[in-house]
Amino acid sequence: MHTTERKPRILIVDDDLAHFKMMRAVLKVEVYDIVCAHDLASANKLVLESLETNNRFDVALVDYYISEEERGDVFAHRLINIVGDIKVVIATSDFVTAAELTVDVDGKLIKTTDWLHSPDTLVEKLESLLEWKRKSHYSVSHQIKRWIATESMGLGLIDLTFLTAEIIGKKGKHGRIEKIIGTRQSDRRSVVTVVYPEHPGDEVIPISVHSTMGCTQRCKMCVHWHSHRDENGLVVPFIGPLTANEIVAQVYHSFNNSSRLLELFEGNKSKKTIKVNFTGEGDVLCDNLDNAATAIRRLSSIEYPWISSFTITSVGHADRLREYLDKYIDLPRVTHYWSANSLDPAKRDWLMPASKGQSLEELRDLHHEISVKTGRPVTTSFALFPGVNDRDEDVALTAEFFKDWLDVPIKLMPGCPGSLKGYRDITTAEVKAFQRKLFAAGLRNVRFRKIYGTSAYAGCGTTQPVFLVGLSKLGQRGVARRY
Ligand code: SF4
């Protein structure tokens, strides 16, 4: 029996009118306040209204097959995760589906047996759920913002249903790093979204996402394209591009799991914004431009939290850059980085073999065109290795190459320690010496960036070697080891 005057509010999400009518008959209107949504769009609207008016639903009965874009259990997961004080039951007519549900819900009902032939089961289930309360961790304003944010990302997160969300937080020299590991349902392979540490006083929290699994570029100093293995333990350099939904889902997953990102939804306390860097696995420009562009358009429509920029980092490819200029130059808030690494063609071919045959001058000019058209300068970056690309001839080549653009932004960083076999790690002093020589040669905008990579493993080529090696040793069973 209910002890308060308020009738329990039940949300039924089901496109089958017959089931809905049957439930209306079983669940007496004198006892329950029943609201029905026949599709996910109206269910989303009703949940948002319930948050805005603080007229919460106590229980949601959600049809597993409510939509082709977002399965009922994924919607249920969002309800529990964001709304908190709601209980969710998945309804299906299929025993196998019920047995295999991967999302942790509060109950399952088999439509034929539990509803049609034994209506008391439905009432009993509801009453038992109404007896307890799940505590909501978030304020109402927080819940509203998160609901709107996940709505704005678009539905269809089904493509990357994460089975695990292991969060590894580590307080490093530069602050707290969070790595959010999600395992793709279809093949149990993992993505690691990294929430970088912020510099003190920084208003931007950078996160690193993957654009592909594995990589086609096979850069010599990359430590992760050779980390994916098949079931026989053999290297699989490139698994494939991530879909737009999978890219969006990485960001969604980090919103739901990173304590620092969750804080951004809280009232107006934080003015911080997010920067989404395509610096995880893969060369987004060369290997997954269309899907990344779709993901950027969807993510840029989110208001809470505000994604202030997207970073596309690429080794560069003339045809892909032309395609970008033709089709995607209007993408909002995108900043480009060109990983040149060496302007000596032979050295560059050795370091980045997939880029062989590309004209460096053409890549430079196309990047310059992007800078002019977007008003956002393209940074040319060099990961330095001692004796490889920090020689005096590299200084001369760089100065000559950019002699007409002396203000071009150049970023220098130490190559990831241990990543280039046969070469020792470069020191900070050596990178700074190279920087001074470039200044002396006339270049005016050369900055030095310490890599987070040594502690965060979040840059292209350094994303997650520890984890992937760990995973491959474990046969990609979706279990990551801590470091
Ligand atoms: S460094 Fe980046 S572009 Fe090169 S192989 Fe690794 S992930 Fe691909």
Task: From residue 118, give the alpha-carbon distance in Å to each of 122, 123, 292, 309, 381.
Answer: 8, 10, 48, 54, 67
Map residue 30 onto helix, strand or coil: coil
Of the residues 87, 122, 137, which one is the last residue of a structural domain?
Answer: 137
Beta-bridge partner residues of 91: 63, 109
Encoded amino acid at 196, one letter: Y
Q: Measured between alpha carbons, how far is 139 from 418 in angstroms, rounded to an integer? A: 46
Angle at 101 between CA 97 and CA 106, to 5 degrees: 120
Q: Do 336 and 229 fall into the same domain? A: yes
Domain boundary residue, one of 111, 137, 163: 137
337 C-alpha to ligand 1 centroid (Å): 13
Q: Is residue 401 part of a domain?
A: yes
Domain ends where: 137, 163, 197?
A: 137
Which residues have CB under 8 Å from 481's CB, separation 6+? 466, 467, 470, 474
166 found inside a domain: yes
Interval between CA 468 and ligand 1 midpoint (Å): 14
CA 353 to centroid of ligand 1, rounded, Å: 11
**Same domain assignment for residues 166 and 60:** no
Q: List CB contacts of 206: < 8 A, sequence separation 6 or more.
A: 195, 196, 198, 274, 275, 276, 277
Whether 478 is covered by a domain: the verdict is no
Residue 341 lies in a domain: yes
Number of compact structural domains in the chain: 2
Distance CA 150, CA 161 (A): 14
328 and 227 in a common domain: yes
Is residue 126 located within the same domain as residue 153? no
Residue minimizing CA distance to atom 4 of ligand 1: 219
Distances (CA, A) of 227 to 224, 236, 287, 330, 419: 5, 8, 18, 35, 13
Nearest atom, ligand 1, residue 352 CA = 4
Same domain, 254 and 384: yes
Closest ligand 1 atom to 460 CA = 2
If you compute the radius of gyration of the chain from its CA atoms, what whole number of angstroms results? 26
Q: Residue 1 falls within a domain, yes or no? A: no
Helix (DSSP H) and strand (DSSP E) numbers for the chain: 17, 17
> Measured from the CA of 315, which atom of ligand 1 is nearest?
3
For ligand 1, the distance from its centroid to the CA atom of residue 320, given in whole angstroms, is 16
Q: Would you say residue 250 lies in a domain?
A: yes
CB atoms within 10 A of CB 252: 23
- Quote the ligand 1 centre to 241 CA distance (angstroms): 13
Q: Which pLDDT does position 331 carry in this prediction?
A: 97
Which 3 state secondary structure label does DSSP give 314? Answer: strand
Cα of 215 vs centre of ligand 1, distance in Å, is: 6
Which residue has its alpha carbon closest to ligand 1 atom 6?
461
Contact, 352 vs 217, CB < 8 A? yes
CB 222 within 8 A of CB 215: yes
Pairing label, strands 59-63, 9-13: parallel
The alpha carbon of 247 and the centre of ligand 1 are apart by a number of angstroms equal to 17
Same domain, 89 and 174: no
Residue 286 alpha carbon, nearest atom of ligand 1: 3
CA distance 217 to 209: 17
Model pLDDT, residue 43: 92
Ligand 1 is surrounded, with C-beta below 6 A, by 215, 217-219, 222, 225, 281-283, 315, 460-461
CATH code (residue 118): 3.40.50.2300
CA 94 / ligand 1 centre spacing (Å) = 44
Q: What SS3 class is residue 166?
A: strand
* Residue 158 domain flag: yes
Residues 310-348 have pLDDT tens digits of 999 999 999 999 999 999 999 999 999 999 999 999 999
Instruction: Residue 181: give the domain boundaries.
Output: 144-473
What tens-digit pLDDT sequence spans the chain (483 residues)?
Answer: 555 578 999 999 988 887 777 777 788 888 899 999 998 889 999 999 999 998 999 999 988 888 776 678 778 878 888 888 899 888 887 766 666 665 567 777 766 666 666 667 778 888 888 888 887 777 888 888 888 877 777 654 544 455 555 566 555 555 677 888 777 767 777 788 888 877 677 789 989 999 998 889 989 888 666 667 777 878 888 889 998 888 888 888 788 778 888 888 876 667 889 999 998 889 999 999 999 999 999 899 888 788 999 999 999 999 999 999 999 999 999 999 999 999 999 999 999 999 999 999 999 999 999 999 999 999 999 999 999 999 999 999 999 999 999 999 999 988 877 778 889 989 999 999 999 999 999 999 999 976 554 555 555 655 443 443 333 333 333 333 222
d(CA 260, CA 254): 10
165 and 127 within one domain: no
Does 183 share its domain with 241?
Answer: yes
Does 315 map to a domain? Answer: yes
Q: Which residue minimizes the CA distance to atom 1 of ligand 1?
A: 461
pLDDT in tens, 122-168: 788 888 888 888 877 778 888 888 888 777 776 545 444 555 555 66
Q: What is the pLDDT of residue 178?
A: 82
CB 132 within 8 A of CB 35: no
**Phi first, then psi: what are they for 389, rounded to 5°?**
-135, 20
Q: Which residue has the tokens 């760089």?
A: 398
Ligand 1 atom with the smallest distance to the CA of 218 is 5
Q: The tokens of 172 are what?
A: 């490093």
Note the pLDDT of residue 471. 39
For the chain, give the number of residues.
Answer: 483
CATH code, domain carrying 355 = 3.20.20.70
